[in-house]
Amino acid sequence: MTKVLVATDKPFAAIAVKQIREVVESAGFELVLLEKYTQKSQLLEAVADVDAIIIRSDIVDSDVIAAAKNLKIVVRAGAGYDNVDLDAATKANVCVMNTPGQNSNAVAELVLGMMVFMARHGFNGSSGSELMGKTIGIHAYGNVGRNVARVAKGFGMNVVAFDPYAEAAIKADGVELFTDIKAFYAACNYVSLHIPANAQTVKSINYDLLNCMPKGGVLVNTARKEVIDEEGLVKLMAERADIKYISDIIPGNAAVFAEKFAGRYFFTPKKMGAQTEEANINAGIAAARQIAGFINNGDATFKVNK
Ligand code: 3PG
């Protein structure tokens, strides 16, 4: 029987697992669950005889691909697939997919939630500031960026965006388009990052770019820590006491922030942008359905490797 492994270091909500199981079993497959594993060896053991794997930010590297002798497909239940070795998958004839858009609203709500939290000084009772009338810049206008624009408009924010690949979508949504990245950062009280982590973007959010932000600028990162030049950000925050950083991913140099920048940063303890029942259900069910479609009908929609 076709075996589908759900391997999640950070588990889906129980209700999502129940619904994933229903989709998998009604396709005639068996579901195997590996949650909260702590060792790579547990994952290597669990993949040994499975045909398909559903993951979140779990690392599927060449060792995992090599250990999964029957593997045909890996679906990343979410947007970013920088945690999967695409070359190793392609060489082993394994299809890799993501589930674009399924957790976007959850991430967008967290963006605005963290912004309010910072603007109100962590709800410590002191006088803060409002989001209405401020400018938010959306750096990369994909599914999450578009949802951030929608929610930010609800707060009465002025929404602008930079994304050379999505200019038509930006204009269609009535969002102001910037084509010069430095002018874009200079125009924004808040910049919300939605770029993927890849060879072009790693460390691209650097000192020179962030230094363009106006007084009181806040950088919001629900993308990936790798896109930030962390040393450059620390240098900037040391020079400019007005700059703040909010992130859903703890940076490599978090101890420096704790030591030097109290009150000017906020990090979630564990990446939780997509950590809602709704997003878990949407992304998990989409992943299960995509596996059924691929194995039963050869449907390769959402394939991300060559
Ligand atoms: C994504 O790329 O979809 C988000 O970063 C969510 O990641 P997670 O499933 O590990 O929470």
pLDDT tens per residue, range 120-179: 999 999 999 999 999 999 999 999 999 999 999 999 999 999 999 999 999 999 999 999
Mean pLDDT of 1-24: 98
Amino acid at 278: E
Q: Which domains does the chain have, with CATH numbers?
A: 3-102+275-297 (3.40.50.720), 104-267 (3.40.50.720)
DSSP 8-state assignment for residue 212: T
Nearest residue (by CA) to ligand 1, atom 5, is 80
Half-sphere exposure of 192 (CA within 13 A, CB side): 29
Residues in the chain: 306
- With beta carbons less than 8 A apart as the criterion, state whether 156 and 133 touch: yes
**Whole-angstrom Cα distance, residue 196 to residue 226?**
9
Residue 11: name the closest of 71, 63, 55 by CA. 55
Q: Is the CB of 144 under 6 A from ligand 1?
A: no
Give the model's pLDDT for residue 227: 98
Among 97, 144, 222, 271, say which to mutate for ligand 1: greatest number of ligand atoms within 8 Å of CB. 271
Atom of ligand 1 nearest to the CA of 57: 10
- Give me the chain's average pLDDT, please: 98
Backbone φ and ψ for 190, nearest 5 degrees, come out as -125, 140
Give the model's pLDDT for residue 88: 98
Half-sphere exposure of 67 (CA within 13 A, CB side): 15
Angle subtended at Cα 89 by Cα 87 and Cα 93, rounded to the nearest 5 degrees: 115
Amino acid at 94: V
Atom of ligand 1 nearest to the CA of 275: 11
Interstrand relation of 244-247 and 218-221 (parallel, antiparallel or unpaired): parallel
- With beta carbons less than 8 A apart as the criterion, state whether 171 and 54 touch: no
Percent residues over pLDDT 90 in the chain: 100
Mean pLDDT of 197-218: 98
Q: Is the CB of 274 under 6 A from ligand 1?
A: yes
Q: Is the CB of 55 under 6 A from ligand 1?
A: no
* pTM (predicted TM-score): 0.97
Between the alpha carbon of residue 227 and those of residues 10, 173, 204, 238, 247, the distances in Å are 22, 26, 6, 20, 12
Atom of ligand 1 nearest to the CA of 272: 11
- Tokens matching residue 268: 């979630």
Measured in Å, residue 224 CA sits from the centre of ligand 1 at 10
